[in-house]
Amino acid sequence: MADEPATARALLARAAGVVVFTGAGVSAESGVPTFRGPGGLWKAFRPEQLATPEAFARDPRLVWEWYGWRRDALAACRPNLAHVAIGRFLLTRAGVTLVTQNVDDLHERGALEAATGLAREGRLPAAGAAGDAASRPAPERGGGAAPLLDDEQPRAANAAAAARAAPIRLHGSIFHARCTRCGARTEHRAAVDASSLATLPRCGACGGLLRPDVVWFGEVLPEGALETAFAAAAAAEVCLVVGTAGAVHPAAALVDETRGGGGRVVVVDPGETAYDDVADVRLWGAAGEVLPGLLG
Ligand code: NAD
Ligand code: ZN
């Protein structure tokens, strides 16, 4: 019988371009509930009843209360071995693009852990160095910024490196908000007071009601994100699919782009997925158990 993990490792090792495509399953071992699995219910509401523009128009207080609860739940979660392995892969390999359907921030936090570990090993690539992650634009420091204190230096360098491993987000971010009046987008991490309509988050620019900057059922994906992700997938020699059932479209069609371009598909998931018939290599297992060996 073919040694599937070895086959997958060889495919990944020699591929010039790799797209890593993740879903809720990559965060499952961190304790983040998936929508469909156990623990996916909140106050007897199904996510499908809350994650819609209609639900927000009907009862923005209830929807913000749910997002506040999900943010609190995430604050108690830590990135798992899969997030860290993916972060390390992005930081040390050329030609890797991460595309996620998740709205949590665990890929970013996993990349920070990976960057910290690499820095400790003296292997953190400097900004602008060869390697795909480094070729992405790094966030600029303002010209007038105060000089960093000695002990802040490594942390800032690690954070800058981790930022280069940020995912393309197909479904937005739970820690960003968007104005329902003027459309302005902001990072939004402050605690949400959903006790009344009057206390819900408001836009700093125009005073309009803010909404979570996530893609709800029936909404279109963020401009550019899908195009960028699909272009990377079409050019990739391998699409590594991790923890997604493949039921949410159009994101799920990313895999077809790689196949259409003649690339291979590797699927890591302990349950059945829509990709099982097309996978060139199928690894049945939890992401945190499989990925460190696969990508290390
Ligand atoms: P899904 O719930 O449809 O599928 C999850 C997949 O993860 C399943 O195939 C399951 O077998 C697999 N899985 C479970 N445990 C795993 C593990 N330890 N390792 C690897 N795989 C594991 O999720 P989806 O395909 O991402 O689609 C659901 C939608 O819900 C997405 O659009 C996403 O935005 C949203 N969502 C996001 C989060 C998050 O941000 N963490 C959580 C729930 C839902
Ligand atoms: Zn506004």
What three-state secondary structure class fits 240?
Answer: strand
Nearest ligand 1 atom to alpha carbon 32: 41
pLDDT given at position 130: 40
| Residue type at position 294 | L
pLDDT given at position 34: 75
DSSP state for residue 193 in the 8-state scheme? -
pLDDT given at position 145: 57
The residue nearest atom 17 of ligand 1, judged by CA position, is 286
Name which of 33, 22, 163, 170 is nearest 82 in CA terms: 22
Provide the H-helix boundaries in the chain: 4-14, 47-50, 53-58, 60-75, 81-92, 106-120, 132-135, 152-164, 225-235, 254-260, 287-295
Residue 171: active-site member: yes
Give me the catalytic one of 171, 176, 188, 249.
171
pLDDT given at position 127: 62
Nearest ligand 1 atom to alpha carbon 101: 34
Nearest ligand 1 atom to alpha carbon 171: 34
Ligand nearest to the CA of 274: 1
Contact 80, 292 (CB under 8 A): no
Q: How buried is residue 280: exposed, middle or buried, by Cβ count under 10 Å (0-12/13-18/19+)?
A: middle
- Ligand 1 centre distance from Cα of residue 248 (Å): 10
Residue 216 CA to residue 122 CA, distance in Å, equals: 42
Q: Which of 35, 67, 98, 176 to mutate to test the pocket of ligand 1 (most atoms within 8 A of CB)?
A: 35
DSSP state for residue 65 in the 8-state scheme? H
pLDDT given at position 150: 62
pLDDT given at position 147: 63
pTM of the model: 0.91
Question: What does pLDDT average to in each consecutive run of 10 residues of the chain (296 residues)?
Answer: 86 96 97 77 87 97 96 95 98 96 97 94 71 41 54 80 92 97 96 97 97 96 94 98 95 98 98 97 98 96
Tell me the β-bridge partners of 22. Answer: 100, 242
CA–CA–CA angle 187, 165, 226 (5° rounding): 70
- Ligand 2 centre distance from Cα of residue 51 (Å): 21
Residue 258 CA to residue 234 CA, distance in Å, equals: 5
Name which of 60, 82, 5 is nearest 216 in CA terms: 60
Name which of 25, 4, 5, 16 is nearest 261 in CA terms: 16
